[in-house]
Chains A and B, each alone.
Chain A
Amino acid sequence: MAIGTGCTARPGKSRNNKTGSWRVFRPEFINEKCTSCGMCRIICPEGCIGENEEGLPVPDYDYCKGCGLCAEECPSEAIEMKKEEK
């Protein structure tokens, strides 16, 4: 059958929905101020902040909705919200 029998789906399918297009403000990560505490990664409702080898946060702008929670909660003010330029 071509469609998921009984309306089912396999993991990973939500990634087809690039919620980054919702964004009005964009979080800019200031690595110099970052202490790698991980707060932004823990609280991001999209789960779209990863980390690089140095432990610095790497946002996935394909999915970031620009809610600003990470910037608001960052204890070292290392994230700034900037108006998205389209």
Chain B
Amino acid sequence: MLEITEGSLAVAEAVGKCRPQVIAAYPITPQTHIVEALAEMVANCEIDAEYITVESEFSALSACLGASAAGSRVYSATTSQGLALMFEVCFNCAGMRLPVVMSIVNRAMGAPLSIWNDQQDSVSLRDSGWLQLYAEDNQEATDLHYLAYKVSEDHRILLPSFVCFDGFILSHTYEPVDTISQEQADSYLPPFKPFQRLDAADPISFGLFAAPDYYTEFRYEIDQAAKRALSVIPKAGKEFAELFGRDYSGLVEGYRLEDADCALVAMGSICGTVKDAIDEMRDAGKKVGLLKIRTFRPFPSDEVKKALSGVGRVAVLDKNISLGSKGAMALEVRDALYGSQIPVYDYIIALGGRDVRKKDIARVVSLAEEGKGDLFYGLREEVLQ
């Protein structure tokens, strides 16, 4: 059923239909509407979950970790500083192979303090072992939660997932969203079957320490599980498409890439603007296309390489910066294209909520055509003097 609703509320509704048994969350802008909506659902017995009002994000994810280990499906949501406070626990959840699902309402990292959007927060956790899915619009943001639980809880994977969508741009925007019914949700996402759990009837010790003779092997297994997700995600996406008609079987998605001279690479809500800009440029005779990255972790290098193999140049739009190096996505794309002659230009763009318009995308394409890249796009004059 198509409904016009706020992004956060659409996500909260989808999360509710995933039937989380334990929810633990701490308020932080722009995530609050999601956890408020879930609290309301619990208060009205619309969902049957234990809701823990923790005293910090650190405890939110710690409580999720414990609840998951004890055998419940769990949920949390956060952003930016809250995610940073969870840093330690993030590595723990992945290392302990607990399929926690968390919404990341993407926001910039301080300092300076900024409540506005970029993707520095989740991108900075790229080495933690969490799967990272990025949504372009609110429809995708809601749907990816079902997909995330399905993939995370798969016993071949057993890794936690971030479902990332841009703060304010998506979370606070009203868009038409097709919501699926509880029965439909249940038909896609079966009840949680823990691989192992804390249980007095069958005791197990979780979270031992590993000396040098074993540590590497545990890290290897996490990495292998993440890489298995490269084939499990498309299958879960295909199954979703068969039931609901919306196709997330691709780890990446091409838009008018077929004969493109310049391929833009982007993830998240900026892709919508890029598509509109591409349409205009195409109308003006420019061969431009987009490769949208939906799955940032694991990084689908082979799919990226395949999709970009015929293009003349690549312009990566990074809403993050690995300070002292490059944008995180550009590094991945360059790695994927290593050995080819295709130049990859990096543009640090849309940090801290700075708006990006179609003309900016056209300007980026021009810069790439001039061979100018690896720069912060659209800097104020005063810092350049």
Q: How far is the CB of B239 from chain A (nearest CB, A)?
A: 24
Q: Is A8 an interface residue (CB 8 A)?
A: yes
Please tell me if the beta carbons of A6 and B214 are within 8 angstroms of each other in the complex.
Answer: no
Contact A5–B158 (Cβ < 8 Å): yes
Q: Which of B98, B203, B209, B217 sits near A6, CB closer than 8 Å?
A: B98
Say whether, besides A3-B214, A6-B95, A6-B97, A11 and B203 are in contact (CB < 8 Å): yes
Cα separation A69 to B36 with both chains bound (whole Å) = 56
Are B97 and A11 interface neighbours, CB within 8 A? no
**A10 at interface by CB-CB < 8 Å:** yes
Docked pose: A4 CA to B196 CA in angstroms: 10
Please, which residues of chain B bring their CB within 8 A of the CB of A5? 97, 158, 195-196, 221
**Binary interface profile of A, 1-23, with partner B (CB < 8 Å = 1, else 0)?**
10111111111000000000000
Say yes or no: A7 contacts B204, CB within 8 Å: no
Query: Complex: how many Å from CA A4 to CA B208?
Result: 10
Query: What A residues does B98 contact at CB under 8 A?
Result: 6
Assess the B210–A7 pair: CB atoms within 8 A. Answer: yes
Could you mark each residue 360-384 of chain B with 1 if its beta carbon is under 8 Å from any beta carbon of chain A, else 0? 0000000000000000000000000
B208-A9 in contact (CB<8A): yes
Residues of A within 8 A of B158 (CB): 5-6
* Inter-chain contact B208/A7, CB cutoff 8 Å: yes
Interface positions, chain B 30-64, Cβ under 8 Å from A, are none
* Cβ–Cβ contact A8 & B221, under 8 A: no
Chain A residue with minimal CB distance to B195?
A5
A9 to B218, CA, bound (A): 13
A interface residues, how many (CB within 8 angstroms)? 10
Query: B218–A7 contact, CB under 8 A?
Result: yes
Contacts of B196 in A (CB 8 A): 5-6, 8
A3 contacts across to B, CB distance below 8 A: 214, 217-218, 221
Q: How far is the CA of A5 from the CA of B97 in the complex (A)?
A: 7
Contact at A8–B218, with CB atoms within 8 Å? no
Task: Give chain B residues whose Cβ lies under 8 Å from the Cβ of A4.
Answer: 208
| Among A7, A8, A10, A11, residue most surrounded by chain B Cβ atoms (within 10 Å) | A7
Nearest CB to that of A11 among chain B residues? B203
Q: Considering residues B96, B214, B221, which has the most beta carbons from chain A within 10 angstroms of its beta carbon?
A: B221
Q: Which of B190-211 contact A (CB under 8 A)?
A: 195-196, 203-210
Chain B residues near A6 (CB-CB < 8 A): 95-98, 158, 196, 206-207
Question: Could you tell me the distance in whole angstroms from the C-beta of B357 to the nearest C-beta in chain A?
Answer: 46
Residues in B neighbouring A9, C-beta threshold 8 A: 204-205, 208
- Whose C-beta in chain A lies nearest to the C-beta of B205? A9
B85 to chain A, nearest CB (A): 23
Q: Pick the residue among A1, A7, A11 that contacts B96 (CB under 8 A).
A: A7
A residues less than 8 Å from B214 (CB atoms): 3, 7
Smallest Cβ-Cβ distance to B155: which chain A residue: A5
User: Contact at A7–B195, with CB atoms within 8 Å?
Assistant: no
Name A7's closest neighbour in chain B (CB-CB): B208
- Whether the Cβ atoms of A10 and B95 lie closer than 8 Å is no
Point out which of B95, B195, B204, B210 has the most chain A C-beta atoms below 10 A from its C-beta: B204
Report if A8-B205 is in contact (Cβ < 8 Å); known contacts: A3-B217, A3-B221: yes
CB distance from A14 to the nearest CB of B (A): 10
Contacts of A7 in B (CB 8 A): 95-96, 206-210, 214, 218
Cα(A7)–Cα(B213), bound, Å: 13
Q: A5-B195, A6-B95 are in contact. Are A11 and B218 (CB under 8 A)?
A: no
**In whole Å, how far is B93's beta carbon from the nearest beta carbon of chain A?**
10
What 9 A-B pairs are tightest by C-beta distance, nearest first? Answer: A6-B97, A6-B96, A9-B205, A7-B208, A5-B97, A11-B203, A8-B204, A8-B206, A7-B218
A3-B218, A11-B204 are known contacts; what are 8 more A-B pairs with Cβ within 8 Å?
A3-B217, A5-B221, A6-B96, A6-B196, A7-B208, A8-B196, A8-B205, A9-B205
25 contacts between A and B (CB under 8 A): A3-B214, A3-B217, A4-B208, A5-B97, A5-B195, A5-B196, A5-B221, A6-B95, A6-B98, A6-B196, A6-B206, A7-B95, A7-B206, A7-B207, A7-B209, A7-B210, A7-B214, A7-B218, A8-B204, A8-B206, A8-B207, A8-B208, A11-B203, A11-B204, A11-B205
